[in-house]
């Protein structure tokens, strides 16, 4: 029997959330969360190829046997650890799961040699921007028309030496 999050008053105990590398069988759940979170709708092949190339930095959050979030990070040749996508199931947001995924992927990318962690975010995505700024990311530049629908992105960076580790 699955446990309803209402049993916890709408809050999930983070101790019951496991952050682990994604596996092939997680891809349908990851794609469901992606469709519920973004206007872009990447084909399955994008996730499969990403997983094959970045098995240690494509992570999922599992709660009660269910995938409730994911983050996709990779190390670029210029030693920027780039976060390609992060999302949490809308029903599970605001419980610290996004922060836990972000923390784990940053640590893994820095351990693999990243000097910076970088990402793009929609300029209208205030929740995510606030979250990144709390982690120490700074807005480096605005990329005009970055998204397919014409919206601009902020390119945000966190230097590895400013990463204070897990709080």
Chain residues binding ligand COA by CB under 6 A are 37, 86-88, 93-99, 121, 125, 127-128, 130-131
Which residue number places its CB atom closest to ligand COA?
98
User: Which CB atom, from 88 or from 106, has the smaller least distance to ligand COA?
Assistant: 88
Count of residues making up the chain: 167
User: Which CB atom, from 125 or from 151, has the smaller least distance to ligand COA?
Assistant: 125
Which of helix, strand or coil describes residue 123?
A: coil
- What's the closest the beta carbon of residue 45 comes to ligand COA, in angstroms? 21
- What's the closest the beta carbon of residue 34 comes to ligand COA, in angstroms? 9
Separation between Cα atoms, residue 77 and residue 80, nearest integer Å: 7
- What's the closest the beta carbon of residue 10 comes to ligand COA, in angstroms? 9
User: Which CB atom, from 27 or from 137, has the smaller least distance to ligand COA?
Assistant: 137
- What's the closest the beta carbon of residue 75 comes to ligand COA, in angstroms? 18
Long-range contacts of the stretch 109-114 (C-beta < 8 A, 24+)? 109/57, 109/73, 109/75, 109/81, 110/81, 110/160, 110/163, 112/56, 112/57, 112/75, 112/81, 113/75, 113/79, 114/75, 114/79, 114/80, 114/81, 114/160
User: Which CB atom, from 30 or from 88, has the smaller least distance to ligand COA?
Assistant: 88
């Amino acid at each position: 029997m699955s446990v309803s999050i209402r049993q916890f008053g709408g809050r999930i105990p983070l101790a019951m959330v496991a952050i682990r590398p994604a596996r092939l069988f997680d891809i349908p759940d990851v794609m469901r969360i992606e469709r519920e979170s973004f206007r872009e709708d990447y084909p399955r092949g994008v996730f499969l190829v990403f997983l094959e190339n970045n098995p240690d930095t494509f992570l999922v959050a599992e709660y009660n046997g269910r995938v409730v979030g994911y983050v996709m990070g990779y190390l670029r040749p210029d030693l920027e650890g780039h976060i390609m996508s992060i999302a949490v199931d809308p029903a599970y947001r605001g419980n610290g799961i996004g922060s836990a995924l972000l923390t784990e992927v940053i640590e893994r990318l820095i351990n693999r040699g990243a000097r910076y962690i970088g990402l793009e975010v929609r300029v209208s995505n205030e929740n995510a921007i606030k979250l990144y700024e709390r982690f120490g990311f700074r807005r480096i530049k605005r990329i005009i028309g970055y998204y397919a629908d014409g919206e601009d992105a902020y390119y945000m960076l966190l230097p590895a030496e400013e990463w204070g580790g897990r709080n």
